[in-house]
Chain A
Amino acid sequence: ELVLTQSPGTLSLSPGERATLSCRASQSVSSNYLAWYQQKPGQAPRLLIYGASSRATGIPDRFSGSGSGTDFTLTISKLEPEDFAVYYCQQFHNSPPKVIFGPGTRVDVK
């Protein structure tokens, strides 16, 4: 069964710093089906990245995604105050059809 692991669990950084978040799959997956979401307290998740590296509509270019196979990365080049949140990776799995989320990485203020 496919499992997504995210690391670190919590990332403590200061505004202006670079954030690098990892998502590792237990087996090789298609990068076409890998997405990243941001969630702030009391809000619904927001799509940031789809297809491992394509930014969703309206997402600032400080957010970028990369990776293939089993290892994927979300990078925030320069943290803005509004970027402190929880980030989830997600994989659409075809056989059987299902959607899997990683456990999330919390980015908080150092």
Chain B
Amino acid sequence: VQLEESGGSVVRPGGSLRLSCVGSGFTFHNYGMSWVRQTPGKGLEWVCGINSNGGDSAYAASVKGRFTISRDNAKNSLYLQMSSLRADDTAFYHCAREGELFPAFDMWGQGTTVTVSS
């Protein structure tokens, strides 16, 4: 039972990047999912979330209009399309599973690093 992120990279300011997260060992389409980021030595910041069927999503104000969350339940996959990247988007990005019966993140991936730098 795990989540595994990929796609992190070094990208120039203004650039784009797509992160992926694959879930295994559980019924992926039953769960809401989110992306949460963390800067080195700093705390956690929720980025965005999507409900179990992909029909509803929400974004933090800091990324709204630049990032898009999506999912493909047939592939047990969650995505984060990031565009107009800025230096302050540099962070470690985790995907996280929302509990089926309660509003909390009961499973986390180990994360992938995004560095925005010229």
Q: Which residues of A contact B (CB under 8 A)?
A: 32-33, 35, 37, 39, 43-47, 50-51, 54, 56-57, 88, 90, 92, 96-104
Main secondary structure of the interface of B (DSSP, over half): strand
Complex formed: what's the CA distance from A50 to B104 in Å? 6
- Asked whether A44 lies within 8 Å of B94 as measured between CB atoms, the reply is yes
A44-B94, A96-B58 known; A35 and B44 CB under 8 Å? Answer: no
> If the complex has contacts A54-B102, A99-B34, are A44 and B110 also in contact, measured as CB distance less than 8 A?
yes
> B34: which A residues are within 8 A, CB to CB?
99
Query: Which residues of B come within 8 Å of A, CB atoms?
Result: 34, 36, 43-46, 49, 58, 60, 94, 99, 102-106, 108-111
Contacts of B44 in A (CB 8 A): 37, 39, 45, 88, 90, 101, 104
Closest to A51 in B: B102
Question: Do the beta carbons of B108 and A45 come within 8 Å of each other?
Answer: yes
Q: Could you jot down 18 A-B contacts, CB within 8 Å?
A: A32-B102, A33-B103, A37-B105, A44-B94, A44-B108, A44-B110, A45-B94, A45-B108, A46-B108, A47-B105, A50-B102, A54-B102, A88-B43, A90-B44, A96-B58, A101-B46, A104-B43, A104-B44
> Which residues of the partner chain B approach A54 to less than 8 Å between Cβ atoms?
102
Q: How far is the CB of A89 from the nearest CB of chain B, in Å?
A: 10
Cβ–Cβ < 8 Å partners of B49 in chain A: 97, 99
User: Which residue of B has the minimal Cβ distance to A33?
Assistant: B103
